[in-house]
Structure 1
Amino acid sequence: MSHTSRESRERSVPTSADVARLAGVSRATVSYVLNNASAVRISEPTRRRVRRAAEELGYVPHAAARSLRAGHSRMVLLPTAHVSACPPHSRFLDELQWALRGLDYTVVQYGSMGLDGDSAARAWAELRPAAVVSLGETVLTPHSVRLLKRSGVRAVITLGTRAVEGAHSLLMDQRQIGARAAEHLLERGHRRLGVIMPEEPGPGLFSELRLTGVRRAAEPHGATVRAVPLACEERAAEALAAGWRELGLDAVYAYNDEYAMLLMRALQDVGLSIPGDTAVIGADDLLLGRLLRPRLSTLRIDVVTGQYLAGLVDRAVRDPDGAPERHDVMATRVVRREST
């Protein structure tokens, strides 16, 4: 091959025909191999030859063309209003994305900060994904689901606090978390309960429901419950701790372990004893909570696995007219340690 022709090939966009010629196979074989088609038997040496040729040429299948052939894309849209650093949440997202990739889907995370249900649905629909997995940060409506499906989305899956008509719904009753925390504190003899309410916008939906759970559990015992706003900042915790004695609380459920650890350190810095003056319980069972002194009591929240959710996505994409599935997918238990 001449120097000029080699430069020309390197400048041009490689096609499946180029891969087929280099590998000595048909274009159909290239398509079967690179799209992981399982319906056609192709020998492993041939598969390796095709992949080597594609790698040498720098060929990547065209997603839009692939979607036209299949009648739908292989994109799963994962909207998120903010990126969580919480290990359980991060592990769940990692597992979900790996499982979907193993099923030959492409996962695209979409920043949805500031969008309500219908506005978000219109924005998501523009990308024409095969499925949308909404993790509860954006509250979808039945109209949102219909809009998405009219645009060609084959499956809408919601993971949140309530079922949405037309969508597959995995339900997590956040009130259960607050109730379990309150029941533990009540068992320990506490009757003046505080509930830390994050001032950041992200946790708002869940924190209100968890507060409701605390209040429902406390009411039969004649216990008082006070909502206590707190930003996840050291200065905010210091200011709250400075006036803590005036609140008259003997125990607090702190939304999650991050807020619990922040509050514990601030209370200890002003000379308050934990659990002597105030018992503290968090949620999520982070490793760091076990390293504190006193060790942090917490709630372990077990939810559906990413592998399970990926399987539901695949079933729903394959059968878009199937009846929506609804499952309760969360279990909560108290991990008792020294802070309560």
Structure 2
Amino acid sequence: MTRDTHVPASITSADVARLAGVSRATVSFVLNDTQGHRVSAGTRARVLDAAKQLGYVPHAAARSLRAGRSNLVLMPSSISAIGRLVSDWVDDLHSELDRFGYTAVLHAGRFADPLDAARAWAELRPAAVVALDGDRFTAQAAEVLARAGVRGLLAFASHPVEGVYTVGFDHTRIGATAAEHLIARGRTRIGVVMPRERGLGAFAEPRLAGAESVAARHPATVTPLELSYTRESASELARRWRSLGLDAAFTYNDEYAALLLHALRAEGISVPDEVALVGCDDLVLSTLQQPPLTTVRLDMPSAAQIADAVHELIETGTAAPVPAVKPVLVHRLTS
């Protein structure tokens, strides 16, 4: 018995044109919604119906070549590692970019060298790159992308980067805000959770540095605490908590805070009497904990503002400034 290895030919715009009884140029005008070319409603309907019958999908790369530009906005996948707050914000950004006809794509590559990252991104020839871990961006990486025709480079970063439109996002201020609050509440031995999950170190390390900078100005100490986002890891940390001699913790974000809160309670450690906790992101779950969780809210520019800036960068090379990300302490009952 032989197996049929025949692979059906792919459907092309010529097939759509033949079925609709129009030229390939007309198919292109209709399916790419090309401005400046008048196509009657009847012809448009025939083309769309033919494409649907044949299951035709336009070739994005070929369309970009014809247009001389891409409609892709590339986002390094590290943005999805930050937490639920940013994940929800990114969903909104996808919708806002769609207003301008852009398609947002996540790039899952992990690169130790910013230049290697830039080269990998440049291979896809996106119209723009939006990076939340922009402190890793360099002027050299920006130059690689610009030479590849990437028109919009936007990074959330703690400092300006040459050739990159920068939105202020200083993670040291998040750790400092948490530490300032805990010290003001009389806590002097502060643990700072350092997630073991891949991709979070770029955000956790400056938050730790921010807490350390505040503690250095007070009679207070900061101790890094490695923690995986698992029940087992939290239970192990809770079991040795009293031996650490800590009276407070900044837990990186609300999800790790909730995990640690439940593990401490299971060990009979009272929050906030024995240990004060501060999370980050002000997620809904922070208000549902018992006791409700003190947290650091991140006031971010809206997804619409960022989409507008990306579009302006692509179209004109410049954009008006947008507000920096601002950490705001929300005091509840865990501190």
Task: Give the structure-1-normalised TM-score.
Answer: 0.86
The equivalent residue for 1:300 is 297
- Cα distance in 2 between the residues matched to 1:26 and 1:105: 27
After superposition, the Cα gap between the structure-2 partners of 1:326 and 1:141, relative to the gap in structure 1 and judged at 3 Å, is: farther
Q: 1:82 to 1:318 in 2, by over 3 A?
A: closer
Shift in Å at residue 280 of structure 1? 0.6
The C-alpha deviation readout for 1:149-185, integer Å capped at 9, x for no partner, is: 2122222221233322111112201122112212222
Which residue identity does 1:190 align to in structure 2? R
Seen in structure 2, the aligned counterparts of structure 1 residues 263 and 137 have a Cα distance that, compared at 3 Å, is farther
Report whether the alignment pairs 1:188 with 2:175. no
Equivalent of 2:240 in 225, 230, 243: 243
Task: Tell me which residue corresponds to 2:59.
Answer: 62
Structure-2 change in CA distance of 1:65 and 1:228 (3 Å): closer
Q: Quick one: which of 151, 160, 170 aligns to 1:163?
A: 160
Alpha-carbon distance in 1 for matches of 2:249, 2:234: 14
Deviation at 1:242, TM superposition (A): 1.9
Rate the CA distance shift 1:89–1:82 in 2: closer, same or farther, 3 A.
closer
**2:190 and 2:89 mapped to 1: Cα distance?**
31
Question: Is 1:174 the equivalent of 2:171?
Answer: yes
Quote how far apart the aligned CAs of 1:204 are: 1.3
Aligned-residue identity in percent:
45
Choose from 55, 67, 71 the match for 1:74: 71
**Compared with structure 1, are the counterparts of its residues 89 and 339 closer, same or farther at alpha carbon in structure 2 (3 Å cutoff)?**
same
1:101 aligned onto 2:98: yes
| Structure 1 counterpart SS, 2:33 | coil
CA contact (8 A) 2:128 2:314 kept: yes
- Letter aligned with residue 50 of structure 1: V
Which AA in structure 1 matches 2:131? S
Q: Does the 8 A contact of 1:92 with 1:306 survive in 2?
A: yes
Q: 2:138 aligns with which of 126, 136, 141?
A: 141
Hey, what's the Cα distance between the residues in 2 that align with 1:159 and 1:46? 46
Indicate whether 1:334 and 2:308 are aligned: no
Kindly state the Cα deviation for residue 255 of structure 1 after the two structures are TM-superposed.
0.9
Spell out, residue by residue over 1:273-310, the C-alpha distance to the aligned partner (whole angstroms, 9 max, x if none). Answer: 10000111101122222222112111111212222222
Q: 1:25 to 1:231 in 2, by over 3 A?
A: same
Corresponding residue for residue 316 of structure 1: 313
Query: Structure 2: any 5+ residue segments left out of the alignment?
Result: 1-7
Give the AA of the match of 2:88. R
Matching residue of 1:5: none
Q: Which amino acid aligns with 2:132?
A: L
Task: Give the CA deviation at 1:142.
Answer: 1.0
Is 1:266 the counterpart of 2:263? The answer is yes
Alignment partner of 1:231 is 2:228: yes
CA distance in 2, matches of 1:82, 1:331: 17
CA RMSD of aligned residues (A): 2.6
Find the aligned partners of 2:173 and 2:203 in 1 and give their Cα distance: 11
The residue number in structure 2 matching 1:200 is: 197
Equivalent-residue separation in structure 1 for 2:129 and 2:189 (angstroms): 43
Once structures 1 and 2 are overlaid, which stretch shifts more, 267-276 or 193-202?
193-202
Q: CA deviation at 1:315?
A: 1.5
| CA apart distance, 1:244 | 1.4
Separation in 2, partners of 1:328, 1:161: 13
The alpha-carbon distance between structure 1 residues 138 and 218, as it changes in their structure 2 partners (threshold 3 A), is: closer
Q: Distance in 2 between matches of 1:336 and 1:159?
A: 26
In the TM superposition, residue 112 of structure 1 has moved relative to its aligned partner by 1.6
Question: Is residue 107 of structure 2 the alignment partner of residue 110 of structure 1?
Answer: yes
Q: Evaluate the alpha carbon distance shift between residue 244 and residue 283 of structure 1 in structure 2; reply closer, same or farther with a 3 A threshold.
A: same
TM superposition shift of 1:86: 2.8
Query: Corresponding residue for 1:7?
Result: none
